[in-house]
Amino acid sequence: MSPVPKPHESVEPLVASLPTPADLPDYARKTLEAIAPGFKLTDDRLREITHSFLHDFELGLSKYGEPMAMIPTYVTGVPNGKETGTFLALDLGGTNLRVCEVKLLGNHKFELRQQKYKVSDTLKTGEAVALFNYMADSVDAFLTERASIDPNQQNEDLLLGFTFSFPVEQTALARGELLTWTKGFSAKNAVGHDVGQLLQDAFDRRHMHVKCVAIVNDTVGTLMTRAYTGGDCLLGSIFGTGTNGAYVEDISRIPKLAGHPAVANGGKMVINCEWGAFNNTAGLRTVLPSTPFDNKLDRESINVRKQAFEKFISGMYQGEILRNILLTLVDHQPPILFKGESSATLNKHYGLDTAVMSDVENAQTLADVRTAVSAGLGLPLESVSDLDAWIVRWAAEMVATRAAKLSGAAVAAILVQTRHARLQGYGDPAEPIKTPGVMHVGVDGSMVEFYPHFEERLRSALRALVGEEAEKATKIGMAKDGSGVGAALCALQAMKQLTA
Ligand code: ADP
Ligand code: MG
């Protein structure tokens, strides 16, 4: 069996750097070499992107209505691991709905009972009331079947944190209007409405003794969970169906909150960046490396010109970018892939799951790549030659490397924004930077959890942007169950802030 070439450091040389199969025809090589530069991210380009990120941060912190919303969460404290109590959490994130009961044990540890419920496309795209009724029914079913506490045996309502991972402009911990749907949701009569109230109304219609006291973005949950389990945490970020980050900002640096009673005493507040929307308005002047494959994805998406950054990075989109590349190669005359044969998976919009790319990149030998390609694309094994397998691997690696490097630019932007690292050409070089021994970044999502080389590729961009010392000091740790535990921690924070 021929070994698969190791992933190369940069997308730059691509075809040239890999031991190119001897039987790659000249016309195919030329086509691949024409595609590759579009995915290239030089260090200069990455720096330009990070500068642009910081610029969008500043805009979002100073004004409402900016594409990168920089949403104040009204969470003014992060946990230290000593917190106790039992709370409910409901997590609507993208692919699944989860209901959890979280028991905080007060020693950085917790116990979690949970149940997942499927969210059908009908619910995602139907009436909002039906979606929120379904969520209330799921909590009800959970309380009957799985929970250790019985709300009917309690004097007080059970407190619930609602992890709702869409852009919500919050006005209080439990209040906030949905700005826009993302990640394939489009339920009607939700945008512009208070999602905390929509959920509470659904509970109340069922006379349930449950009170929603916090709306929590999954990034905030990830940040809170990491702080609870591991101490200090600088950034909570998600690389799953979508991508986003939340970090702790000085209230003095959030001009749009000036005069708000909630910030009269200064201090800090967690900001939900909604960085998936980075570069939305740049249009043709985009600093992001858009290729025809990205443009096709965007045009055919339900949110054209929105979530520009997310469309390069997250699990929902990477498979689709790859599908667009592969189809171009299938349809090329003469065919470059599969002798021009396609498959139901390849022909279907969003038919190619990013998990298939994971499998293709995880394969250790070319024979294993062939198997992964055949299984993932739904093509008979005999239709996938060694050369086909190599080309799919090449394309997957190119898409995923670009995604991970762009993710590194987002992390770098937060390090610079919080004065933990310097970026060439940005800010006052005389201003001191904080240099803690370790900078903790809590992460969650299938991309970081399962995608091979994701962290290593992200780090290569981080190193290029903020230098080796800062990169080495950055500890990236999974905040497993972040959305559940984080919602419980926000419910507790709400209780503290209410009784303060
Ligand atoms: P969510 O963001 O909805 O909470 P996940 O973090 O599990 O959920 O991310 C789901 C996304 O990750 C989907 O878009 C799916 O295609 C993708 N995905 C699932 N498994 C893998 C995998 N093994 N490798 C890469 N991507 C995956
Ligand atoms: Mg999630």
Report the percent of the chain where pLDDT is more than 70. 94
Residue 437: is its pLDDT beyond 50? Answer: yes
Nearest ligand (C-alpha, residue 316): 1
Mutate to test the pocket of ligand 1, among 316, 446, 454, 480 (most ligand atoms within 8 A of CB): 446
Strand partners, 160: 88, 212
Domains of the chain in sequence order: 1-73+229-480 (3.40.367.20), 80-216 (3.30.420.40)
Query: Tell me, what's the pLDDT at 289?
Result: 86
Element (H, E) at 199: helix 195-205
Nearest-angstrom CA–CA distance, 11 and 457:
11
* Cα 189 to ligand 1 centroid, rounded to whole Å: 27
As to burial, measured by CB atoms within 10 angstroms (0-12 exposed, 13-18 middle, 19+ buried), residue 382 is: exposed
| Number of alpha carbons in the 13 Å side-chain half-sphere of residue 352 | 29
pTM, entire model: 0.91
Q: Is the pLDDT of residue 274 over 80?
A: yes
User: Could you tell me if 93 and 132 are in contact, meaning their C-beta atoms sit under 8 angstroms apart?
Assistant: no
What is the residue with the minimal CA distance to atom 17 of ligand 1? Answer: 315
Residues taking part in catalysis = 98, 165, 218
Q: How far is CA 495 from CA 15, 249, 453, 482, 489, in A?
A: 57, 22, 41, 19, 10
Q: CA dist 259 to 68, 175, 244, 500, Å?
A: 22, 19, 28, 20
The beta strands (E) that lie in 225-340 are given as 235-239, 243-250, 268-272
Work out the angle between the directed axes of helices 354-362 and 315-331 (0-180°, nearest 10). 80
Write down the pLDDT at residue 260: 84
Q: Give the residue-averaged pLDDT of 326-341.
A: 98
Is the pLDDT at 73 greater than 60? The verdict is: yes
From the CA of 218, give the closest atom in ligand 1.
Answer: 4
Q: pLDDT tens digits for 206-232?
A: 999 999 999 999 999 999 999 999 888
Among residues 488, 424, 439, which one has the least CA distance to residue 85? 488
pLDDT band at residue 183 under the 50/70/90 scheme? confident
Nearest CA to ligand 1 atom 4: 93
**Average pLDDT over all residues of the chain:** 91
- CB contact set of 260 (below 8 Å; sequence gap of 6+): none
Here the tokens at position 397 are: 């690696």
Query: Is the pLDDT at 93 greater than 80, yes or no?
Result: no
Distance from residue 257's CA to the centre of ligand 1 (Å): 35
- CB of 408 within 6 A of ligand 1: the answer is no
